[in-house]
Chains A and B, each alone.
Chain A
């Protein structure tokens, strides 16, 4: 772990100024991912700017009937917030599917968006990785890649985004509020994370010095017709091989609107509006769900050890859509997939 200097910010403006002016400076909040990466010399910031005492810890109602979640709201507080439990149970469920209770207590809303891939090679400073050291190569492509991307990968990187929460936020159509040296802006959730392309070192579209200040949820929809289904190598405390956030609005007997987002399969939560549109007007059925799954997974390609994820994702999407349409969401403490 490299040494670094430390300052504690008292205002958002001070924090941004401190980081924007120093290319080696980074914000730190929950630290659950950054401190870990620093111990393994994957992240080597010269200065950390502590933002934990900034006033970004509230969950506020918006004029549009949604909620604006402060970037420093801990994951667990968000999951157990009564408004989230009541109006956005998909989000609550996805959060509770991730990490451990201790980590959720420390990790923040903004930090969850910014957590970095769990690619084995990214995490090992002793080996090449294009994400960690651009141009050094990607051993994962021909190496151990059972956890890697099947969608949207590039020649230079096949890493996945590890978040569960973000998969739900993608499905719900959240908006990210950021502030930077050039002022504030909002980013739609699908534009927040990016695909690796030729610059896998960039996980998202934030500029240096920009800080996530809040995540905004649109007015609630879907009622109980949602689910978060996570499949992994042990029954808890493991990253997703494949996860699915699904939500369905029925119009009589047929699907009015559907949302499907996949986790564990790409460099960002994977959403394909065309796949969702295919469900519109259809009766919930295996064939309709399979068609949507196939569209969602169009172009999916494995790298050997992760070929299975394509079929696993297909089956998981179908099951998740059944769970959502029936209004019987997966309960994260129950390991029976209903």
Chain B
């Protein structure tokens, strides 16, 4: 079969579980998880910054692990539990990391932000970051062209410490005022 004249493969039926909701979609095998989230499920919180696994803006959690959704074929994630930024928190009920990002002004344009936050959620659960130096290394897969890095690290470090010492009050929006 000459490769370039290949006909369309049949769409495949896939069941994706996203933020606790089940979605049945018919998609071509070449559809990435990121494109399915954005274009078919209209969950545009996961961002496309490079489409090559080189920026981290598309980071989501699959079965609790942070991955680049631009490099995941959606069809391969049938049945797995996917969490996107929309499932982390809402404007009315921010996750502590989301609140800390606002408090520390840990973003500017906001485009890398959902990926930074999903990545930070994954990183804190992994449990290998014990301070700013390790946070910087383990968050290096999330580029920020606006250069909010120092604020991002401060925001994550504050939440990390609060998690380690649960008696500390979690950061809130009001804290900045």
**A residues with CB within 8 A of B:** 1-6, 8, 24, 28, 31-32, 35-36, 38-40, 44, 46, 48, 50, 52, 76, 80, 99-103, 105-106, 235-237, 332-334
CB pair B6–A46 under 8 Å, yes or no, is yes
Identify B137's interface contact among A32, A39, A40, A236, CB under 8 A: A236
20 A-B residue pairs with Cβ-Cβ distance under 8 Å, sorted by A, are A5-B10, A5-B29, A6-B12, A6-B29, A24-B1, A24-B3, A31-B76, A32-B53, A46-B1, A50-B75, A52-B76, A100-B142, A101-B66, A101-B122, A101-B123, A102-B122, A102-B141, A105-B66, A105-B67, A235-B140
Alpha-carbon gap, A103 to B75, bound state (A): 19
Known contacts A6-B73, A333-B136: A1-B30 contact under CB 8 Å: yes
Alpha-carbon gap, A3 to B4, bound state (A): 9
Interface size on B, residues (CB 8 A): 41
**Please, which residues of chain B bring their CB within 8 A of the CB of A6?**
9, 12, 29, 73, 75
**Please, which residues of chain B bring their CB within 8 A of the CB of A76?**
65, 126
Q: Which residue of A lies closest to B123 (CB)?
A: A101
CB pair B140–A4 under 8 Å, yes or no, is no
CB pair A101–B119 under 8 Å, yes or no, is yes
Alpha-carbon gap, A100 to B142, bound state (A): 8
**Please, which residues of chain B bring their CB within 8 A of the CB of A24?**
1, 3
Identify A333's interface contact among B29, B72, B75, B138, CB under 8 A: B138
Known contacts A3-B6, A6-B75, A39-B52: A102-B29 contact under CB 8 Å: no
**Please, which residues of chain A bring their CB within 8 A of the CB of B30?**
1-4, 38
CB pair A28–B67 under 8 Å, yes or no, is no
**Please, which residues of chain B bring their CB within 8 A of the CB of A32?**
53, 68, 71
**Please, which residues of chain B bring their CB within 8 A of the CB of A235?**
140
Identify A4's interface contact among B9, B52, B59, B134, CB under 8 A: B9
Say yes or no for B28: interface residue by CB 8 A criterion: yes
CB pair A103–B68 under 8 Å, yes or no, is yes
CB pair A103–B53 under 8 Å, yes or no, is yes
Alpha-carbon gap, A40 to B71, bound state (A): 12
Alpha-carbon gap, A333 to B134, bound state (A): 5
**Please, which residues of chain B bring their CB within 8 A of the CB of A99?**
141
Q: How far is the CB of A56 from chain B (nearest CB, A)?
A: 15
**Please, which residues of chain B bring their CB within 8 A of the CB of A46?**
1, 3, 6
Alpha-carbon gap, A39 to B9, bound state (A): 17
Q: How far is the CB of A39 from chain B (nearest CB, A)?
A: 6
Known contacts A31-B71, A32-B53: A102-B140 contact under CB 8 Å: no
Say yes or no for B154: interface residue by CB 8 A criterion: no
Known contacts A31-B72, A39-B51, A46-B1: A102-B9 contact under CB 8 Å: no
CB pair B133–A106 under 8 Å, yes or no, is no
Identify A102's interface contact among B75, B119, B136, B137, CB under 8 A: B119
Alpha-carbon gap, A120 to B4, bound state (A): 23
